């Protein structure tokens, strides 16, 4: 696949994932929906690994990476699916747009790999301001929205810090093998979560929920991760960062247009503040280098 096609595909997949999460849980419950998604992902990954003859490392570092990735995936996914009952799909995408800021903060503290410059700190403060505006707008959307936003923030933190931990482990396993190992670690956790939360198979499976689950299991999980790793290997980091700037806006528009989700002015303002914060965080030093200096 060409780089532009892969880039656009990742944007479309990430923009539509929050809405698919909401639709997949309708009529079958969030715990069963996310468990079904993981089962589909495991089966597809295993088939692709066998067809493409990709090695599946089983040394200690690889299993440590699988464990960290699988547990962080479980925490982030379980919380996101639960929160989707109370907040809009667009808000899910907006809050996950904070991931680069939290990941960068964790990397600076834990890995000591980058300094917290003025532009990065300014970007984080703008992101925090945007978060406050989104939270304020979310409280006006109905009962449980505050808890849903809190759960999403915890999900973002779990996912972001899990990525930092993975970078610290520095495992060199093939991305598809890491995806399968992560799913194998997470699958029992999702099964236990479903058993404790409900433990009942749905009496009927709505067509929309089935279609959304298959979409999340195939393009939303396996294809999305594969294309993202492909972009990381062949594209500049600055261009890849544009993905997190585009997807929240598209997700808000899709949720509003396809699912009649209300988007209050505070949410739009918060989204704009978060996106500006991401821009400052990612390109602030570059912009300052071109700022005319006083003599």
For the chain, the C-alpha Rg in angstroms (whole number) is: 19
Burial of 49 (0-12, 13-18, 19+ CB in 10 A): middle
pLDDT band at 47 (very low <50, low <70, confident <90, very high): very high
Q: Which domain holds residue 215?
A: 3-289
Structure tokens at 4: 């532009």
**Any domain includes 72:** yes
CA-CA-CA-CA dihedral for 38, 60, 159, 97, to nearest 10? -100
User: Which sign does the torsion angle of CA 28, 33, 36, 41 carry?
Assistant: positive
**Any domain includes 36:** yes
Task: For residue 114, give the DSSP letter.
Answer: S
CA 270, CA 33: separation in Å to the nearest integer? Answer: 30
Residue 203 pLDDT greater than 80, yes or no: yes
**Any domain includes 294:** no
Total domains in the fold of the chain: 1
pLDDT band at 230 (very low <50, low <70, confident <90, very high): confident
CA 17, CA 31: separation in Å to the nearest integer? Answer: 16
Nearest of 235, 249, 278, 251 to residue 7 by alpha carbon: 235
pLDDT band at 71 (very low <50, low <70, confident <90, very high): very high
**Any domain includes 94:** yes
**Any domain includes 16:** yes
Once rounded to an integer, what is the mean pLDDT over residues 194-209? 91
Beta carbons of 4 and 240 less than 8 angstroms apart: no
Q: CA of 18: how far to CAs of 8, 85, 88, 93, 208, in Å? A: 17, 12, 8, 6, 14
Nearest of 145, 132, 134 to residue 263 by alpha carbon: 134
**Any domain includes 279:** yes
Beta carbons of 133 and 266 less than 8 angstroms apart: yes
pLDDT band at 48 (very low <50, low <70, confident <90, very high): very high
For 18, how many CA atoms within 13 A lie in the half-sphere containing its CB? 31
Q: Supply the pLDDT for residue 142.
A: 67
**Which positions ≥6 away from 87 have C-beta within 8 Å?**
138, 141, 145, 148, 149, 152
**Any domain includes 99:** yes
Structure tokens at 249: 């806006």
pLDDT band at 107 (very low <50, low <70, confident <90, very high): confident
Q: Supply the pLDDT for residue 227.
A: 82
**Any domain includes 295:** no
């Amino acid at each position: 696949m060409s780089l532009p096609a892969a880039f656009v595909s990742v944007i479309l997949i990430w923009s539509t994932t929050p809405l698919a999460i909401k639709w997949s849980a309708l009529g079958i419950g969030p715990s069963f929906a996310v468990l079904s998604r993981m089962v589909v992902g495991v089966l597809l990954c295993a088939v692709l690994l066998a067809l493409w003859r990709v090695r599946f490392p089983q040394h200690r570092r690889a299993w440590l990476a699988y464990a960290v990735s699988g547990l962080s995936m479980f925490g982030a996914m379980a919380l996101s699916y639960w929160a989707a009952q109370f907040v809009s799909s667009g808000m899910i995408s907006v809050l996950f747009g904070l991931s680069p800021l939290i990941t960068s903060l964790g990397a600076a503290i834990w890995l000591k790999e980058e300094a917290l410059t003025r532009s990065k700190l300014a970007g984080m403060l703008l992101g925090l301001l945007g978060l406050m505006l989104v939270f304020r707008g979310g409280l006006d959307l109905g009962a449980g929205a505050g808890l849903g936003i809190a759960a999403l923030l915890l999900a973002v933190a779990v996912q972001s810090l899990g990525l930092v931990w993975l970078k610290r482990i520095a495992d060199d396993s093939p991305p598809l093998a890491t995806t399968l190992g992560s799913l194998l670690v997470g699958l029992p956790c999702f099964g236990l979560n479903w058993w404790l939360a409900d433990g009942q198979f749905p009496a009927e499976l709505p067509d929309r929920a089935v279609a959304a689950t298959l979409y999340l299991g195939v393009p939303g999980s396996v294809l999305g991760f594969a294309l993202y790793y492909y972009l990381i290997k062949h594209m500049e980091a600055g261009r890849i960062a544009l993905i997190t700037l585009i997807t929240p806006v598209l997700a808000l528009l899709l949720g509003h247009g396809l699912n009649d989700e209300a988007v209050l002015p505070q949410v739009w303002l918060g989204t704009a503040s978060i996106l500006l914060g991401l821009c400052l965080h990612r390109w602030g030093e570059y912009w300052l280098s071109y700022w005319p200096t006083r003599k």
